Amino acid sequence: MIQRQNKPHVILFPSLATQYITPSERDLLANCKAIRALFEKMVDARRNLIKSDPEAAEKKGDLLSILLSDDLFSLDNNMIVDECLTFFFAGSQTSSVTTQNLILHLIKNRKYGDQIINEIEKVVVIPFKEQSNDTSQVWEPTKFLDMIDYEMMSELTFYGYCFNESLRMQPPVYFSSSVCMMEDLDIGGFKIRKGDAFSIDMYRLGNNPKEWKEPSRFYPERFDHNSEYFKTPAGKNRNPYSFSPFLGGQRVCIGKTLVETISKLTLPTLWTNFDMELENV
Ligand code: HEM
């Protein structure tokens, strides 16, 4: 879709955009239809299940059941499919790319991987063992998921720095969808006319050398307010919007807290259970 949006014929002759479709766009269209049909099948199956067993919606308790119980959505398959696809695409690639990028940085900077393990031992393993009177010296990485609880997750501060640093360097959503203003605005001398479409570039925000010291260096400590890297190169406080991988305001990512939580479970589990290294580098 984004590639298509930037094609010259679409920009110069918008009315042609619906007439002239390239072969790859035809494939894309076929794929979109196929995935919509697949999702629609799932919606119908769930609707039938709920019809035959009215308690099924509550038992499942997932997004699909919530939408099928909502007056606005329940009878409109298109709206349900739109909503499910948005969640599916917005949530899956972004989360997996973030995990992959962070693993890559940890492989290149082993000391940070060790620091993450130390933090897990301090915050999760030791308190868990004390509570359960477990005196063994070693801990099984595979048991990590049984040990951690929600409160402990919020104490994994250093892990949070690493997660943020990876998002700063390579935000999985590089730029926002188009937005426009309802009135003319002058922001620090930069004029935006009412109705003009523009996009926010999260990659540039996170890699702006005026805001970040050595922006191309993976340095999680820059999120620790005690670090000298917490300030801009000029020694000032950073603009809070310079770190906006989830955008902000009313259109802030709805899955932000979810992905922050999931990441604290998945990455440490992968990191402690596997020895990872880069191939051909
Ligand atoms: C590291 C992972 C993620 C990143 C970096 C991310 C980033 C973003 C960004 C930048 C937007 C705003 C897009 C725009 O308006 O132009 C957004 C919107 C959205 N995200 Fe995420 N996201 C992530 C994970 C997730 C997850 C796990 C879910 C759901 C399970 C999710 C669901 C959504 C939805 C539904 C929207 C649209 C919200 C709206 O327009 O009101 N995201 N995300």
pTM for this predicted structure: 0.86
Q: What is the 3-state secondary structure (H, E, C) of the chain?
A: CHHHHCCHHHHHCHHHHHCCCCHHHHHHHHHHHHHHHHHHHHHHHHHHHHHHCCCHHHHHCCHHHHHHCCCCCCCCHHHHHHHHHHHHHHHHHHHHHHHHHHHHHHHHCHHHHHHHHHHHHHHHHHHHHHHCCCCCCCCCHHHHHHHCCHHHHHCCHHHHHHHHHHHHHCCCCCECCCECCCCCEEECCEEECCCCCECCEHHHHHCCCCCCCCCCCCCHHHHCCCCHHHECCCCCECCHHHCCCCCCHHHCCCCHHHHHHHHHHHHHHHHHHCCCCCCCC
Predicted pLDDT of residue 15: 79
Nearest CA to ligand 1 atom 17: 253
Radius of gyration of the chain (CA): 23
The domain spans of the chain are 111-273
Check if 94 has its Cβ closer than 6 Å to any atom of ligand 1. yes
Predicted pLDDT of residue 49: 93
Predicted pLDDT of residue 201: 96
Predicted pLDDT of residue 3: 63
207 in Cβ contact with 169 (< 8 Å): yes
Check if 176 has its Cβ closer than 6 Å to any atom of ligand 1. yes
Predicted pLDDT of residue 2: 59
Predicted pLDDT of residue 216: 97
Q: Show the low-confidence residues of the chain (pLDDT under 50).
A: none
Ligand 1 atom having least distance to the Cα of 263:
1
Predicted pLDDT of residue 10: 75
Q: What is the pLDDT of residues 215-260, one digit of tens each?
A: 999 999 999 999 999 999 999 999 999 999 999 988 899 999 999 9
Check if 269 has its Cβ closer than 6 Å to any atom of ligand 1. no
- Domain boundaries 111-273, corresponding CATH code: 1.10.630.10
Q: Ligand 1, from 241, 253, 257, 260: best to mutate by most atoms within 8 Å of Cβ?
A: 253
Predicted pLDDT of residue 143: 80
Q: In angstroms, what is the span from residue 95 Cα to ligand 1's centroid?
A: 10
Predicted pLDDT of residue 196: 92
Q: How far is 65 from 46, CA to CA, in rounded Å?
A: 8
Q: How far is 160 from 105, CA to CA, in rounded Å?
A: 14
Ligand 1 atom having least distance to the Cα of 86:
35
